[in-house]
Structure 1
């Protein structure tokens, strides 16, 4: 049994990770800022703290074998907050681990493909150990967080995981695409055709994290996680439609409309809820890239792992949405493209 600290345990990745580790008989401690909604029914130890506040981390990192750092900001009302959380927060956490728990078995940072950036064509997926080229402030802030972790690679064991776009149970972002597809339409938000991405089913990320607990040899500090197969957004819409069992109208929105919609969404969320919008100009910079492809072959080899296909993952995800009443079945199902 391992003693594990999860930051961001109330988020999409953290919730799935906490469930997996508890089911495996491990002792799980969760560092929570304020919201317990997603993990309140999972038997874990709760420690309140904030990675932006170094003093709140001291007790949380003690007597722990593994840290899985999942906390981070996907979006923020201002750019500075992204760096305060994703870079400085990560710096605070790993410094606390090094100071108060230097014999830790491993510090795992769940970063993002956004830190690595897109590639230039279909034939040359991005090497996770090559130069980074993030195109958004989110990506740059995650890249800076990675650099803070790598400063300690000769002092404590560290591993950086760079997942591609993640989908699956508890996800609220890609859920939007399932939601629209269930209503019969699937807009492509790239502003142009023939944009390609790789995806990662949440269970694959969780299983890689689980394998880390018993893995003794790591051939790299950085691993890219994604199904090797790439998809156009039209193919993704078609596969989600098939998973739902519904005929889906797939269409590409023009770039000018997407940018206008992002500005409108940002303004409305700021005025009405005083929150950052999930659909924003920084995110559009990522959406409009043509080739979000990385090389996951080293991950497959080093972990002896096969990633889940989108067809299978989409079916599992849709069934979870139905079972948990995020979506409801309609009479128009089984009329897919």
Structure 2
């Protein structure tokens, strides 16, 4: 049994992490900057604070065995905010850990495929190859990785780069389930032949669980995804089969995707004063032809088999139904 600090504990990844680790008997400490129903009534330690406020961090990092850093920002109205949170916030956290708890067993950073960037062709991109992010989000996550790697000779650090994550509690991929339910599915990459990989949330959680039990790891960085890649139409059709739908897929040209993203961004800024879920930064990611990485090091070194889209999507769809996010 270990004592584990989870940042971003009330987010999509964090919520799933907390619940899984509790079932294994770990003592879970959560760093949160706001209360959340997802953590309500759970037997956890809650520390109110933020990775952007270094003075709130020392007590949270003391007397723990592991840190799983899943806090971050996916969208922002200003570019600077990405780097304030994903880079500087990560630096604040790991520097505080080194200062107040240098004997920590391992620091795990949940990064993103966006940090690595898309592949140039159908060849799977090696996690050890040069990173070429195409979005401000991806650039900020990559800079966060560099902050973590500064400490790799101080204590064990591991960086996980999941592909697009889906699963229970997820609101972003939920939009795709909603579209498939309507029977209409726009392909936002601008290219019918574009290919992506996906990571089921349970796989990310299991990989974290496995790493917690490892004293030594061969690699510092792992890319996580199902080995198989898909076109967006294949994704829609496979989820459609589970939902009993046959979605009509059509391609939106990249210029139109960017125009829609810019419009949504401006409307959200002027009327809601908040970042739009679909924005120009996200459009830059969607309009890449190949999001393909090589998960073989995770499969071989951690002896793990990733969940198929068919299985993961079925679990996710049933969760959406059971929690009234969708109706049959």
TM-score when normalising by structure 2: 0.99
TM-superposed deviation, 1:149: 0.2
> Counterparts of 1:30-179 in structure 2 under 5 Å?
30-122=30-122, 124-179=123-178
Within 1, Cα distance between the matches of 2:229 and 2:322? 29
TM-superposed deviation, 1:273: 1.9
1:230-266 deviation digits (Å, cap 9, x = unpaired): 0001101101101111121111112222112111111
Give the structure 2 partner of residue 12 of structure 1: 12
Any unmatched runs of 5+ in structure 1?
A: 330-337
3-state DSSP of counterpart to 2:188: strand
1:166-189 deviation digits (Å, cap 9, x = unpaired): 000000001000011111111111
Within 1, Cα distance between the matches of 2:43 and 2:270? 38
3-state DSSP of counterpart to 1:267: helix
> Counterparts of 1:246-265 in structure 2 under 5 Å?
246-265=245-264
Deviates more, 1:151-160 or 1:261-270: 261-270
Within 1, Cα distance between the matches of 2:23 and 2:186? 38
Within 1, Cα distance between the matches of 2:236 and 2:247? 8
Within 1, Cα distance between the matches of 2:35 and 2:223? 29
Within 2, Cα distance between the matches of 1:20 and 1:104? 21
Within 1, Cα distance between the matches of 2:129 and 2:261? 32
3-state DSSP of counterpart to 1:292: coil
3-state DSSP of counterpart to 2:63: coil
Give the structure 2 partner of residue 300 of structure 1: 299
Any unmatched runs of 5+ in structure 2?
A: none
TM-superposed deviation, 1:278: 1.1
Within 1, Cα distance between the matches of 2:272 and 2:61? 34
1:178-234 deviation digits (Å, cap 9, x = unpaired): 011111111111122211000000000000011111112200000000011000011
1:261-304 deviation digits (Å, cap 9, x = unpaired): 11111112112221101100011111000110001001000110
Within 1, Cα distance between the matches of 2:246 and 2:195? 22
Q: CA RMSD in A?
A: 0.8
1:67-97 deviation digits (Å, cap 9, x = unpaired): 0000001010100000000000000000000
> Counterparts of 1:275-294 in structure 2 under 5 Å?
275-294=274-293
Runs of at least 4 residues of structure 1 off by over 6 A? Answer: none
Within 2, Cα distance between the matches of 1:46 and 1:24? 19
2:181 is the alignment partner of 1:191: no
Deviates more, 1:242-251 or 1:225-234: 242-251
Within 1, Cα distance between the matches of 2:322 and 2:149? 41
Give the structure 2 partner of residue 335 of structure 1: none
Give the structure 2 partner of residue 202 of structure 1: 201
1:91-124 deviation digits (Å, cap 9, x = unpaired): 00000000000000000000000000111111x2
